[in-house]
Amino acid sequence: MTVEMTDEENIWGSDNEASTGPQESLEVKKLQQIHSKRGYLDGISSAKEENLQAGFDDTFPLGAKYGFQIGEIVGKLRLFTTLYGNADPQVAADLKQAQDELRINRVLSARHFDEELQPLDSLKVLLSKWQARVLDYEGKYS
């Protein structure tokens, strides 16, 4: 025994000093594994559904805004198709393309949102494109 040894090592120490360290750390590691896993599982279930509602309320207005804007675009194109579709086949083609590009699963998609679900510029670009196209028709047929 040297003077540098702590009490802790004394208690757990065997006659063979060299084997004490690794053996103990293995024990501690095992202990950590068991208890942190138990804690982890309890921690997971402690959270239950906490935060779900907060997240929902947080982004609902944003989803509503996009839904409404997209509705306006598609609704107007649909009306133009009824009014001018016979003479102007491009209207129906645009409606079809808008239905495809502005479908919910294309809009609420990982490519338009970051990891925290903040919208990226690409979504603004997409919506602006369609809003401009609708405005063109409104001008053309006013």
Partner 1 sequence: MDFDELLNLEQEFYQEGYEEGRNENLKHNLLEGKQYGLQVGFQRFQLLGIIYGISDVLIQKFDDAALQKNAKVIKDLIEEIQMDNNQENVAIYEKSIFKIRNKFRLVLMSLHKNISSIDSSSDRLTLEKIESLSREIAGKLHGYTEDDSGSNNETMMQDQTTDW
**Phi (first) and psi of residue 119, to 5 degrees:** -65, 145
Q: What number of CA atoms fall less than 13 Å from residue 26's CA on the CB side?
A: 5
Check: CB of residue 87 under 8 Å from CB of residue 141: no
81 contacts 95 by C-beta, under 8 angstroms:
yes
Looking at the DSSP assignment, which residues form a beta bridge with residue 141?
none
Q: Using the rule CB under 8 A, which residue among 3, 22, 46, 132 binds partner 1?
A: 46
Residue among 40 and 129 whose Cβ is closer to partner 1: 40
Q: Which of 5, 28, 125, 135: binder of partner 1 (CB under 8 A)?
A: 28
Q: How far apart are CB 111 and partner 1 at their closest, in Å? A: 6
Subset of residues 51 to 110 that bind partner 1, contact rule: CB under 8 A: 51-76, 78-83, 85-86, 99, 102-110
Q: How far is the CB of 66 from partner 1 (least distance, A)?
A: 6
Closer Cβ to partner 1, 94 or 102, answer by number: 102
CB of 59 to partner 1, least distance (A): 4
Stretch that binds partner 1, among 15-23, 24-32, 121-129 (CB under 8 A): 24-32
CB of 141 to partner 1, least distance (A): 8
Q: Which of 112, 104, 120 is nearest to 69 (CA)?
A: 104
For the chain, the distance separating the N- and C-terminal CA atoms, rounded to the nearest angstrom, is 98
Q: Report d(CA 22, CA 12) in Å as an integer.
A: 12
Min separation Cβ 82 and partner 1, Å? 5
